[in-house]
Structure 1
Amino acid sequence: MADSPLELILHIAPGEPTLPAYARLPVNHCNYPAIILGSLTFQRYPEAIFLDNVATFHQPLFNRLDNIEAAADRAVAFEAYMQASFLLSAPEEAGYQATERESDTLNAVRQNNKKARHKADYRRLLRGWLFDSDSREAAVMKGWVESRFGLLARNHKGPLRDFESDTYINYTQERSAGLYNTNSLESQLDLLYSYCQYELHRRLPNQRHYQLYRATNRLNEYDTLFQGSKSSSAVILNNLTSFSNNLEQCDSFGDTLLQCQVPFSKILFFPDLLPGAFRCESEYIVLGGLYQVSRVAI
């Protein structure tokens, strides 16, 4: 028996299912490999996840946040830092130069009251996900999870099982189109995730899990690695998945309701992270992998 949660993570119990090779990449950009991050052991005994270079380049932000007492004021400071670091209000200063053809397109876009691609930022990605988890913005976010955590997307407008399928090709095209002509969108997500982790541990320093719920009409599309009982099983979730902390709201979105203990370290976004920014009173955006889930009677 391992002596600490960290040892349990590094030495997964013999015979316990781990995230299969077809659902993960061999490399990523954080302090744990995907086979660990996606395991049931990590779900039970989570540790902090650190993305490469975030602390190196953005430590001044977290030093400043340490001196701000109110969560709402910290959110204001975070968003001001994002504006300044990524020049979100002045893409030309970040190196963006529109060609003559692009300028004509931008003028047409502005006339139609639509945002140009070079204006895309972390807020627009979140808004796109919250509106539709199969949107182009969602494809960018799922691709970011693949890159940073090594957890492969399992669904985007359909199952992603065959790398040569039309569904998978469409996913990669949407991911590429969503990143094209934008300003470090994946780096913006790096900082959003790190800020979310900071806030969770600042607000609830002694808590490591949230009990969250997810409703689905397609439980048969999940890969189930084992069935613990009639109501409990281990399933592979999409690499980025929405959950809710509101049981009553959940039951209107599917005929099967799943209950799950979600580690703090696998949460990218929670409702009160950016107060007033989005209409999502109960939605959490969670990194995927292998999870022990229980069915809840509706």
Structure 2
Amino acid sequence: MNTDEKPLAEQRPALPVAARLPINRCNLPAVILGGPTYQAHPVPLEIDGINDFHRDLFTALDAIPTPMARAERFIDYMTVRFCLEDLEEAGLTPGRRKKYRSNANYLRMVRGWSFDSDGREGAVLKHWVETRFGLLARYHGGALDGRDSDAYYHYLLQGSQGLYATNALEAQLDLLYTFCQYELARQQPAITHFTLYRGINRIDEHEVLMSSAAGQYRVLFNNLNSFTSCRERADEFGDYILSVAVPTPKVLFYNRLLPGMLKGEDEYVVIGGVYDVVINTL
């Protein structure tokens, strides 16, 4: 960790090579969308082909005036499009695993993340971020600091098990992210960032790249993270409050996006990378 008198905004270390892939499936490379310049000056992120492929859905949503009605329309679309209530129609072989695999959908992934971000569903979501945005997972039940480590093997195994025999699960997540961005733009078109919080006990729980004498830190986050929009809620999880300005395009989903989506009242699930953050004591 380097300390410098210059403001962090004037320093531009790139997203470390070990934290990114050379290719992804969106309109910006990982080295840009995962860096501090993007945090300060975000532009919309689009996963390749999703808006065009599902144009009929978003045209229909444009005509619906209320968020709740749009959420219901989205859920109906997902159910029909991905045969979520008739998986045999989607090609699933009848048998003992039918009930279990019928639950392996985008809603199961979201709820599983809320219960345990280092579980099977968390591994699927982190793998999805890797393939779509090119940001590598940094932690999953342990530091993923080597491809020959037990933690990395466990991460790959859980991700593979979570994706096995599902019905286009990653495509479901593509559409979930795109719908989230549609709703944020529809409901709050002038908002470019959300100020979000996270309770921590020690700053060295995170990968600190730089710090300044003014108490600012440049942190490399895991490729997917939970934050809260309620500072008081963050107080419950640590002795220090980490606050960060998160670009709107880096919000994968949030608790009010769909009915009963998350148990946390103010939870936001955020795509990672390098962020400038401020840490305050309680």
Q: Scaled by the length of structure 1, what TM-score is found?
A: 0.89
Aligned positions of 1:32-111 closer than 5 A: 32-98=28-94, 103=95, 105-106=96-97
Asked whether the 8 Å contact 1:145–1:239 carries over to 2, the reply is yes
Name the structure 1 match of 2:20: 24
Aligned positions of 1:199-210 closer than 5 A: 199-210=183-194
Calculate the aligned-residue CA RMSD, in Å: 1.5
* CA distance in 2: counterparts of 1:262 and 1:20, whole angstroms: 19
Moved segments of 4+, more than 4 Å: none
Name the structure 1 match of 2:116: 132
Deviations 1:39-97 (A, max 9, x none): 11100111000001101210111101100000000000000010011010001001111
Name the structure 2 match of 1:169: 153
Asked whether the 8 Å contact 1:267–1:285 carries over to 2, the reply is yes
Alpha-carbon shift at residue 256 of structure 1 (Å): 2.6
Name the structure 2 match of 1:150: 134
Alpha-carbon shift at residue 220 of structure 1 (Å): 1.1
Residue 84 of structure 1 aligns to a residue whose secondary structure is helix
Aligned positions of 1:172-251 closer than 5 A: 172-251=156-235
* CA distance in 1: counterparts of 2:109 and 2:191, whole angstroms: 28
Alpha-carbon shift at residue 228 of structure 1 (Å): 2.1
Letter in structure 1 aligned against 2:157:
Q
Deviations 1:2-43 (A, max 9, x none): xxxxxxxxxxx9951121100000000000000001111100
Asked whether the 8 Å contact 2:242–2:277 carries over to 1, the reply is yes
Larger RCO of the pair (alpha carbons < 8 Å, separation 6+): 2
Name the structure 1 match of 2:5: none
Letter in structure 2 aligned against 1:274:
L
* CA distance in 2: counterparts of 1:14 and 1:262, whole angstroms: 19
Structure 1: gaps (5+ residues): 1-12, 108-114
- Between the two proteins, the alignment pairs up a number of residues equal to 274
Alpha-carbon shift at residue 197 of structure 1 (Å): 0.2
Structure 2: gaps (5+ residues): 1-8
Alpha-carbon shift at residue 278 of structure 1 (Å): 3.3
Residue 154 of structure 1 aligns to a residue whose secondary structure is coil
Distance 1:218 1:143, change over 3 A: farther
Distance 1:151 1:206, change over 3 A: same
Point out the more displaced range, 226-235 or 84-93.
226-235
* CA distance in 2: counterparts of 1:290 and 1:254, whole angstroms: 21
Letter in structure 1 aligned against 2:194:
Y
Letter in structure 1 aligned against 2:108:
R
Letter in structure 1 aligned against 2:201:
N
Alpha-carbon shift at residue 225 of structure 1 (Å): 1.5
Residue 219 of structure 2 aligns to a residue whose secondary structure is strand
Name the structure 1 match of 2:3: none
Alpha-carbon shift at residue 251 of structure 1 (Å): 1.1
Residue 221 of structure 2 aligns to a residue whose secondary structure is strand
Residue 65 of structure 1 aligns to a residue whose secondary structure is helix
Distance 1:226 1:278, change over 3 A: closer
Alpha-carbon shift at residue 216 of structure 1 (Å): 2.2
Alpha-carbon shift at residue 106 of structure 1 (Å): 3.6
Distance 1:28 1:116, change over 3 A: same
Asked whether the 8 Å contact 1:119–1:182 carries over to 2, the reply is no
